[in-house]
A and B are shown apart, each in its own frame.
Chain A
Amino acid sequence: MAIEGADIIKAAAFIGAGISMGFGAIGPGIGEGLVAARACEAIGKNPKEAGLLTRTMLVGQAVAESTGIYSLVIALLLLFVV
Chain B
Amino acid sequence: MGVGAIGAAIGEGYTAAEANLAISRNKKMAGDIFKSMLIGQAIAESASIFALVIAMILLFTKFSAVSWVTVSAVFSAGLAMGFGAIGSGIGAGYPAGAACTGMSRQPAMTGRLTTNMLIGSAVCQTPSIFALVVSFILLFSNFSAIPVSPGWAAMLGAGLAIGLGAIGSGIGGGVVAEASCEGIARQPLAIKPVTNVMLLGQAIAQTPAILGLLVSFILIYKGFPATNSLAPSMALLGAGICMGVGAIGPGIGEGIASSGGVKAIARNQEIIGVITRSMLVGMAVAESTAIYSMVIALVLIFVA
Contacts and interface: CB of A to CB of B under 8 A. Distances in A.
B253 A31 contact: yes
Contacts of B253: 28-34, 36
A40 B286 contact: no
A2 B228 CA distance: 6
Nearest to A50: B274
A32 B286 contact: yes
A36 B249 contact: no
Contacts of B235: 11, 14-15
Interface stretch (B15-23, B58-66, B260-268): B260-268
Interface in B248-304: 248-261, 263-265, 267-268, 271, 274-275, 277-279, 281-283, 285-286, 288-290, 292-293, 295-297, 299-300, 303-304
A81 interface: no
B259 A68 contact: no
B288 A65 contact: yes
Contact of B246 (A16, A22, A61): A22
B300 A18 contact: yes
Main secondary structure of the interface of A (DSSP, over half): helix
A43 B274 contact: yes
Contact of A72 (B234, B263, B267, B296): B296
Main secondary structure of the interface of B (DSSP, over half): helix
Nearest to A23: B245
A22 B293 contact: yes
B232 to A, nearest CB: 8
B56 interface: no
B168 A29 contact: yes
Given A25-B250, A25-B289, A26-B246, A17 B300 contact: yes
Interface stretch (B86-94, B134-142, B236-244): B236-244
Contacts, number: 218
A13 B110 CA distance: 55
A21 B242 contact: yes
B286 A36 contact: yes
Given A43-B271, A75-B296, A21 B257 contact: no
Interface string A36-68: 111111011101001001100110011001001
A12 B195 CA distance: 47
Contact of B282 (A30, A33, A75): A33
B239 A18 contact: yes
For B244, B271, B288, the residue with the greatest tally of chain A CB atoms inside 10 Å of its CB is B288
B282 A19 contact: no
Given A21-B296, A50-B274, 17 more contacts: A17-B296, A18-B241, A25-B290, A25-B292, A29-B254, A32-B288, A33-B254, A33-B283, A34-B256, A35-B282, A36-B261, A40-B257, A43-B264, A47-B274, A58-B285, A61-B285, A71-B292
Q: List the 8 closest A-B pairs by CB distance, nearest first.
A: A36-B282, A33-B253, A29-B249, A44-B264, A37-B260, A18-B238, A22-B245, A36-B257
Interface of A: 1-4, 7-8, 10-12, 14-19, 21-41, 43-45, 47, 50, 53-54, 57-58, 61-62, 65, 68-69, 71-72, 75-76, 79
21 contacts: A11-B233, A14-B234, A14-B238, A14-B300, A14-B304, A23-B246, A25-B249, A29-B168, A29-B252, A29-B290, A32-B257, A34-B256, A37-B257, A39-B282, A43-B264, A43-B274, A61-B285, A65-B285, A69-B292, A75-B242, A76-B296
